[in-house]
Amino acid sequence: MQSLDHKDNQAPVAASSLWRNRDYMLLWSGQVVSTLGTSASTIVYPLLILALTNSPAAAGFVAALGAAPYIIFSLPVGALIDRWDRKRVMILCDIGRGLTLASIPIAMFFNVLTIWQIYIAAFVEGSLFVFFNIAEVAALPRVVTETQLPAAAAQNEAAFGTAAILGPSLGTFLYQTFGRGVPFIADAVSYAVSVVSLTFIQTRFQTERVKARNNLRAEIAEGLTWLWHQPLIRYMAALTGGNNMVGSAMPLIIIVLAKKMGALDAQVGLIFSIAGVGGIIGSLIGGQIQKRFTFGQVIISVGWVNALLFPLYLVVPQFFFLGVISALIYLTAPIYNVVQFSYRLALIPDELQGRVNSTFRLLAFGFNPLGAALSGLLIERIGTTPTIIIFSLWCMIMAIVTTFNIHVRNALPLEQARKAV
């Protein structure tokens, strides 16, 4: 195997397809397995908390703790990722996440599991995710060529959508059939698979770096400054954050609605698997939509589709229809992600990838804990119907604001936008 230290610093030569890009396929396959494991355990977290406490607020709080580290750590992590070896960071993070998940079934075995351990595990795993995620996003343009970025984004969405179909059903089946700790064991194993796949990747995940400066604050400021001077990318960060706030509220809303309708734990998993079908369809058509329509047309249309679909949760006659509505909403997510993700990555200079993406994702993911915590509190205090109305109004406001945003409506084609940066 060719040594990593002697691998050419340039991005890989374009292959006829992504399937022949060895290093991308290693990265992709490892993340598919890891995402499957995460999908299996994520659905179990609220079920486990509800079983232990019968409190939607507590279930929302554990989801918020898992998402909160992006607010706390993303800016310094982005600067550090541009200094450090991205591949090494990703490997160490997956090892840490696997051990963290394994601690839950170990505590169950000795009958010492507490809700506080679950909270700590969620926060630790979320913190390591910040490091891993920013490193992964920054590394992707090194593993594929610029022309392959939209296809890579679409293929990632397809794979992760498949995991979203299989994971919830797998997790709830393991939870209900073999024990509450088994989905966490499966997730820990999936992180081990990711570590192995990363180990065999030869492409360097960053260009050569000059000696790191000691002023971390100045390096963070460079990323903030670059993003601030790109009004379209800046708005997209805020819009993605608003969408993610709704997305992080959806799982608990769906679970509580399904439970009220008499769904068993395994049937809750099936609802989320049905929803995942929408993600698959969206990922399959996302690349074609990106080619056929302008940036503004796609982003604005997605906003209005979500605004019209979300209120339908109010009139669901039977719990399986929760999956159908969610599938339609999930269909739009890969389309949105393919368009904005490939557009953004192609514009950011490599030496700023970590810092700019961490700033972007501070806004994009910073709303996740708010949505998760708010959904739990609202459901517990005022009920599911008012909660759905509040989030429906939020979707409508985002759609209206995006429609009238001049930067979204008049976004340049990628080639012209790159020249304008």
Token pair 């969408």 is found at 243
Q: How far apart are the first and last CA of the chain?
A: 39
Alpha-carbon distances of 294 from 154, 270, 271, 412, 413, rounded to whole Å: 17, 35, 33, 8, 7
Nearest to 176 by CA among 64, 75, 43, 303: 43
Question: Is residue 2 one of the residues assigned to a domain?
Answer: no
CA distance 70 to 72: 5
Pairwise pLDDT comparison (334 vs 393), residue with the higher score:
393
Residue 54 belongs to domain spanning: 18-420
Question: Is residue 141 one of the residues assigned to a domain?
Answer: yes
Question: Is residue 241 one of the residues assigned to a domain?
Answer: yes
Tokens (6 digits) for 190: 């999936």
Q: Please, what is the average pLDDT of the chain?
A: 85
Kindly tell me if the per-residue pLDDT of 389 is higher than 80: yes
The predicted pLDDT at position 213 comes to 57
CA distance 179 to 71: 34
- pLDDT band at residue 3 under the 50/70/90 scheme: very low
Kindly tell me if the per-residue pLDDT of 16 is higher than 60: no
Which H or E element spans position 34?
helix 22-42
Instruction: Give the three-class secondary structure for 132.
Output: helix
Kindly tell me if the per-residue pLDDT of 89 is higher than 60: yes
- pLDDT band at residue 402 under the 50/70/90 scheme: very high
Kindly tell me if the per-residue pLDDT of 417 is higher than 80: no
> HSE on the CB side for 165, CA within 13 Å?
17
Over the stretch 220-256, which tens digit does the pLDDT of each residue have?
A: 888 888 988 889 999 999 999 999 999 999 999 999 9
Pairwise pLDDT comparison (148 vs 172), residue with the higher score:
172
Kindly tell me if the per-residue pLDDT of 11 is higher than 50: no
Pairwise pLDDT comparison (217 vs 238), residue with the higher score:
238
Which H or E element spans position 399?
helix 384-403
405-410, long-range: CB < 8 A, 24+ apart: 405/235, 407/231, 407/232, 407/235, 408/232, 408/235, 408/236, 408/295, 408/296, 408/299, 408/300, 409/296, 409/300, 410/296
- pLDDT band at residue 9 under the 50/70/90 scheme: very low
Kindly tell me if the per-residue pLDDT of 27 is higher than 70: yes
Over the stretch 278-326, which tens digit does the pLDDT of each residue have?
A: 888 887 887 788 888 889 999 999 999 999 999 999 998 888 899 999 9
The predicted pLDDT at position 203 comes to 86
Contact of 333 with 160, CB cutoff 8 Å: no
409-415, long-range: CB < 8 A, 24+ apart: 409/296, 409/300, 410/296, 411/232, 411/294, 411/295, 411/296, 411/343, 413/294, 414/342, 414/343, 414/346, 414/347
Contact of 33 with 162, CB cutoff 8 Å: no
Question: Is residue 297 one of the residues assigned to a domain?
Answer: yes
Kindly tell me if the per-residue pLDDT of 121 is higher than 70: yes
Question: Is residue 268 one of the residues assigned to a domain?
Answer: yes
- pLDDT band at residue 10 under the 50/70/90 scheme: very low
Q: Is the pTM of this model over 0.75?
A: no
CA distance 28 to 136: 11
Over the stretch 323-366, which tens digit does the pLDDT of each residue have?
A: 999 999 989 988 998 888 878 887 888 778 778 888 887 888 88
Tokens (6 digits) for 310: 């979300």
CATH number at residue 257: 1.20.1250.20
How many CB atoms within 10 Å of residue 34? 26
Contact of 190 with 125, CB cutoff 8 Å: no
Alpha-carbon distances of 114 from 10, 61, 106, 119, 174, rounded to whole Å: 49, 15, 12, 9, 21
Kindly tell me if the per-residue pLDDT of 95 is higher than 90: yes
Q: Cα 384 to the chain's mean position, in Å?
A: 25
Question: Is residue 343 one of the residues assigned to a domain?
Answer: yes
- pLDDT band at residue 106 under the 50/70/90 scheme: very high
The predicted pLDDT at position 273 comes to 84
Over the stretch 51-86, which tens digit does the pLDDT of each residue have?
A: 888 888 888 888 888 888 888 888 888 888 888 889
Q: Report the domain count for the chain.
A: 1
Question: Is residue 13 one of the residues assigned to a domain?
Answer: no
Alpha helices in 68-215 (DSSP H): 69-81, 86-109, 115-143, 149-177, 182-199
Question: Is residue 4 one of the residues assigned to a domain?
Answer: no
- The whole-number average pLDDT for the span 83-97 is 92
